[in-house]
Amino acid sequence: MTPKPLRVLIVEDSATDAKLVAQALRQTNRVIDFLRVEDEVSMRRELETASWDLIISDWSMPKFNALTALAVMKGMELDLPFIIVSGTIGEETAVAAMRAGAHDYVLKDKLARLAPVVEREVRESKIREERRQAAKALLESEARYRRIVETTSEGVWVIDAGGKTTFMNARMAQMLGCDVNRGIGRSPSEFLDDKDNAALTTYLRLASMGIANQVEVRFLHNDGTSVSALLEATPVFDAARHYEGSLAMVMDISERKRSEAARRASESRFKCLWESGIILIAISDTGDKIIEINDAGLELLGYARDELLAQPIYWDDLTPPESRRADETARAQLMSRGIASPWEKELIRKDGRRVSILAAAAILDDSVRIVIGVDLTERKRAEQNLQERMRVAALTADIALVLTHEDALERILQRCVGSLAEHLDIDFVRIWTIEAPNNVLVLQATAGGRGNQLQAPLGAHLGEAEAGHVVRTREPYLTNDMPLDSRGGDVSMAAFAGYPLLVDGELVGVVGLFSREPLSEVTGNGLGSLANTIAVGIQRNNVTRANVQLEAQLRQAQKMEAVGRLAGGVAHDFNNILSVILSSADFIGSDAKAGDSIRDDAHEIYKAAMRAAGLTRQLLMFSRQQVLAPKVLDLDEVLENMDKMLRRILGEDVEFAIRRNARLGRVRVDPSSIDQVIMNLVVNARDAMPTGGKLTIETTNVVLDESFVHQHPGANLGPHVMLTVSDTGTGMDQATQQRIFEPFFTTKQVGKGTGLGLSTVLGIVQQSQGVIRVDSEPGKGTTFNIYLPRVDDVLEADRANHPNSTLHGSETILLVEDEDQVRMAAQSLLERNGYQVIEMSSPGEALLYSETNPQPIDLLLTDVVMPQMSGPELARRLALTRPKMKVLCMSGYADDSIVRHGVFESEIAFFQKPFTPDTLMRKVREVLDA
């Protein structure tokens, strides 16, 4: 290995001298590489462009000198060995050169010394260079450490043995809340409270002994904030191993503290949530198996903890198929984002019921997930309530529309139930109305809700008991657990909500809602107003119906009055004629010898005249112009007496039953008229059952109320006896029912019906202050109800039925009759039976006779309607002078004039023409014997 050549810059004006110097340098055994320069410019150039180990300079040159060269080198901040070679250099010059920085000098004549000098200088220069490098390195490393200390994220704090700050870095100053420079000299106690200061002092002492690692303190700032720090100190000792102080590394742990506090807070919040009992919280593994769940969750699901965790149970087990899709979406979200935003789903409880929840999920770490759920049942219910309220509003509008567009009640109610079922989405809806006279519930309309297929048609008694409850309490009634036998055959139909239909406090009906799902209160509240609307509809209908009925009844009454007047007039004249025919036939018959055919003929005439008399009697009855002789009666007794006869009329094919009421009230009616009423009804019933059937006659006590009276003009309030005649015959349509009470209305063949039966019945009933009502439907039979006022009087003996009464007598009778034929017939009848008869053709004659003849008169037998004076008036006048005289009035007609003539006012006995010998003689005897 060849040593590096020594590069020498020789500053010399003489090339020879330079060679000599180089020669001398060879003594160093080194390869010498030299260059000669002789002025400042070239020297500078060489120093700048190349590197040199050594400069050897001549002391003095014509254009240059050593001291200047030395200055050039120093000016270029070079520290090369600089040796001066001089021919003539004095001691003084040498000292000045050395002072200027030359390292040595050698005289030209002693160049042998040069080699060792150079050797030494080069060595020293090398050492110098190395030192320089070392110093530089030290400087750099110090700067680096300083930079580290200054820029470290930790605080560096030096506290001396006296407890004063000797150094702090910027981070530390920041932690202490002061300026770097101002902090020097301050005591830690200025930054700490007493407790922390004591703790720090103790720590530093312990640390100096090497027996403590860290202390945690809190630096308080002027602005009220603070910094928590962890401090670790290293003791510093001086050369003599005296404790100088501590160098502390200080770490700001405020953030850690804060997040720890936050974590603790969030943990405690989570604990609150977990235990709150409101929110379901469950932890599941990545396979969706539930591994932990809170009490709220257990309650929501209806499981016990052990039960749920032991099984094991997966989310899918708790999720109905309908919710699976939403779950999948949430799961995808969970996988991609670590959190699934809230979604609605249902859970299946242990008991199979479902609950709606709002669920949310998050991945807690790689192995577990958290699912939280809020029970939506309440919210769903609230939503449902709102919806129901909306529906009720729509419904009210709908029904109001129905009310304004429809007239017929059935149609109104049918549309009401239809709307209710549809809008409320209710399984079944019914409306009942309350019908007089007995306030019975009548089912008017029924509708099933949309999409609610029934397994079987529901029974008519569905909800009847519950509706009855509403009627009794007049309050809404809601139950979600209807008794099984009220459910109309569908046992799942458990919920019922009923509302009274009230108008001004009057109950007109009930609306009932039926559902398989529990019904809520709000349906009821909403329906309250709706029920009012429907109720008004029903009532309006009732009123119009009553009006229509009243009008029809009025027309009927007017018609009857006209017909009655006509019939009455005809009957009057007819009766007089019949009286003559009857008595004449009787005379002929009794005058003829036995066996004579004339006798039979006379009897035929008599019979025919009697039939005619029956007809006029009927005419007078329906025209209400027959004078009735009412008696207090027990209808059951009447029926018992008629039983045999009625059975005969009905024949074999008709099953006949009389149902009696144990304690039937009494009525006051004309006995023969009530016989006729019953008979007419029974005959009609028989005609309606040509192939047989069943006839039931029933008697009941009833009390007629306001609404009944309202609907049946002519009826009176209070206790009545109801006589019901019902058959299972052909029945009648509405049109026929409208006309049956009209005289001469018949649907029977010519010769079979007269059309007078029911008009007679009506006449008798009305004259007895009663009412009649018919219920019939084609094919379903007919029921007649007759309501007669109940009386408290005791039964009257039937005076007409005196046994052994003889028709003969010898008393004096004053007979006053303006019709000659009638007078003559009556006279001969009376005389034949032994009476003394004084006959007069006018009341005037009778008065005159009475005044002029003092003989006693036992009986005045007089016509009622006569020219000049009425029969009763004549009786009154005669009574003034003959107080003991009995009076019997007779008339062929019984209109208002009889009342005007005072027959009813007095105790005057009355006899209805036409008379037969028998009836006249009985009546005369009756009056004389009274």
Which residues in the 829-888 window bind Mg ion by CB under 5 A? none
Q: Residue 755: in which H helix or E strand, if any? A: none
Q: Residue 543: in which H helix or E strand, if any? A: helix 521-591
> Shortest Cβ distance from residue 690 to ligand ADP (Å)?
11
Q: State both tokens at 865.
A: 């309607």
> Shortest Cβ distance from residue 618 to Mg ion (Å)?
11
The alpha helices in 287-408, defined as continuous H runs, are: 295-301, 305-310, 315-318, 321-337, 377-405
Q: Which does 755 bind (CB under 5 to 8 A by kind): ligand ADP, Mg ion, none?
A: ligand ADP
Find how far residue 171's CA is from the centre of its chain. Answer: 69
> Shortest Cβ distance from residue 610 to Mg ion (Å)?
20
Separation CA 583–CA 589 (nearest Å): 10
Phi and psi, residue 607, nearest 5°: -65, -45
Choose the stretch contacting Mg ion; rule: CB under 5 A; options: 103-111, 603-611, 752-760, 833-841. 752-760
> How many residues comprise the chain?
930
> Shortest Cβ distance from residue 649 to Mg ion (Å)?
12
**340 touches 333 (CB < 8 A):** yes
Instruction: Count Cβ neighbours within 10 Å for each residue of 538-560 and write b for 16 or more, e otherwise.
Output: bbebbeeeeeeeeeeeeeeeeeb
Q: Is 623 in the site for ligand ADP (CB under 6 A)?
A: no
Q: Which one, 531 or 732, has the nearer CB to ligand ADP?
A: 732
Which residues in the 664-683 window bind ligand ADP by CB under 6 A? 680
Which sign, positive or negative, has the C-alpha torsion 710, 713, 717, 723? negative
Selection from 644, 908, 694, 682 nearest residue 786 by Cα:
682
> Shortest Cβ distance from residue 758 to Mg ion (Å)?
6
Binding mask 94-133 for ligand ADP (x = CB under 6 A): ----------------------------------------
Separation CA 508–CA 441 (nearest Å): 9
- Report which DSSP code applies to 365: S
Q: Which of 208, 579, 676, 684 binds Mg ion (CB under 5 A)?
A: 684
Q: For the residues of 782-817, what is the DSSP string, one character each?
A: EEEEEEEEEE-PPPPP-GGG-TT--S----EEEEE-
Separation CA 474–CA 506 (nearest Å): 9
Q: State the Cα torsion 860-863-869-870 to the nearest 10°.
A: 90
Q: Which of 296, 639, 715, 740 binds ligand ADP (CB under 6 A)?
A: 740
Relative orientation angle of helices 521-591 and 597-622, to the nearest 10 degrees: 150
Q: For the residues of 842-888, what is the DSSP string, one character each?
A: SHHHHHHHHHH--S---EEEEESS-SSS-HHHHHHHHHHH-TT-EEE
Q: Which one, 359 or 689, has the nearer CB to ligand ADP?
A: 689
Q: Is 748 in the site for ligand ADP (CB under 6 A)?
A: yes
Q: Which of 747, 821, 828, 919 binds ligand ADP (CB under 6 A)?
A: 747
Which residues in the 6-65 window bind Mg ion by CB under 5 A? none
> Shortest Cβ distance from residue 735 to ligand ADP (Å)?
11
> Shortest Cβ distance from residue 733 to ligand ADP (Å)?
10
Separation CA 650–CA 642 (nearest Å): 12
Q: Is 755 in the site for ligand ADP (CB under 6 A)?
A: yes
Relative orientation angle of helices 40-49 and 66-75, to the nearest 10 degrees: 40
> Shortest Cβ distance from residue 622 to ligand ADP (Å)?
9
Q: Which one, 617 or 823, has the nearer CB to Mg ion?
A: 617
Q: Which one, 302 or 755, has the nearer CB to ligand ADP?
A: 755
Q: Which does 729 bind (CB under 5 to 8 A by kind): Mg ion, ligand ADP, none?
A: ligand ADP
Pairing outcome for strands 354-363 and 339-348: antiparallel
Q: Count the site residues for ligand ADP by CB under 6 A.
A: 21
Q: Which of 302, 714, 753, 844 binds ligand ADP (CB under 6 A)?
A: 753
Separation CA 259–CA 266 (nearest Å): 10
Q: Which one, 582 or 689, has the nearer CB to ligand ADP?
A: 689
Q: Which does 494 bind (CB under 5 to 8 A by kind): ligand ADP, Mg ion, none?
A: none
Q: How many CB atoms lie within 10 A of CB 347?
A: 23
Separation CA 505–CA 677 (nearest Å): 40
Q: Is 758 in the site for ligand ADP (CB under 6 A)?
A: yes
Q: Which one, 477 or 784, has the nearer CB to ligand ADP?
A: 784
Q: Which one, 757 or 770, has the nearer CB to ligand ADP?
A: 757
Q: Is 757 in the site for ligand ADP (CB under 6 A)?
A: yes
Q: Which one, 579 or 728, has the nearer CB to ligand ADP?
A: 728
Q: Which does 659 bind (CB under 5 to 8 A by kind): Mg ion, ligand ADP, none?
A: none
Q: Count the site residues for Mg ion by CB under 5 A.
A: 2
- Report which DSSP code applies to 338: S
Choose the stretch contacting Mg ion; rule: CB under 5 A; options: 300-308, 327-335, 756-764, 837-845. 756-764
Q: Which one, 459 or 753, has the nearer CB to ligand ADP?
A: 753
> Shortest Cβ distance from residue 559 to Mg ion (Å)?
19
Selection from 917, 877, 919, 912 nearest residue 892 by Cα:
912
Q: Which one, 782 or 912, has the nearer CB to ligand ADP?
A: 782
Separation CA 161–CA 159 (nearest Å): 7
Q: Which does 732 bind (CB under 5 to 8 A by kind): Mg ion, ligand ADP, none?
A: ligand ADP
Separation CA 540–CA 457 (nearest Å): 32
> Shortest Cβ distance from residue 736 to Mg ion (Å)?
13
Choose the stretch contacting ligand ADP; rule: CB under 6 A; options: 33-41, 750-758, 873-881, 903-911. 750-758
> Shortest Cβ distance from residue 764 to Mg ion (Å)?
14
Question: What Cα–Cα distance (Å) separates residue 717 from each residue in 28, 239, 436, 791, 846?
Answer: 164, 134, 13, 13, 48
Find how far residue 161's CA is from the centre of its chain. Answer: 84
Which residues in the 763-782 window bind ligand ADP by CB under 6 A? 782
Q: State the Cα torsion 644-650-652-658 to the nearest 10°.
A: -60
Q: Is 685 in the site for ligand ADP (CB under 6 A)?
A: yes
Choose the stretch contacting Mg ion; rule: CB under 5 A; options: 625-633, 682-690, 871-879, 889-897. 682-690
Q: Which of 81, 449, 757, 781 binds Mg ion (CB under 5 A)?
A: 757
Q: Residue 725: in which H helix or E strand, if any? A: strand 718-727
Separation CA 4–CA 458 (nearest Å): 126
Choose the stretch contacting Mg ion; rule: CB under 5 A; options: 650-658, 718-726, 751-759, 777-785. 751-759
Q: Is 763 in the site for Mg ion (CB under 5 A)?
A: no
> Shortest Cβ distance from residue 571 to ligand ADP (Å)?
18
> Shortest Cβ distance from residue 621 to ligand ADP (Å)?
12
Pairing outcome for strands 693-704 and 718-727: antiparallel
Q: Which residue is nearest to ligand ADP (CB)?
A: 757
Binding mask 710-729 for ligand ADP (x = CB under 6 A): -----------------x-x
Binding mask 775-814 for ligand ADP (x = CB under 6 A): -------x--------------------------------
> Shortest Cβ distance from residue 762 to ligand ADP (Å)?
9
**Which stretches does DSSP call E strand in 606-653?**
631-633
Q: Residue 499: in which H helix or E strand, if any? A: strand 495-503
> Shortest Cβ distance from residue 386 to ligand ADP (Å)?
57
Query: Which residues of the chain form contacts with Mg ion (CB under 5 A)?
Result: 684, 757
Query: Which residues of the chain form contacts with ligand ADP (CB under 6 A)?
Result: 680, 684-685, 688, 727, 729-730, 732, 736, 740, 745-748, 753-755, 757-759, 782
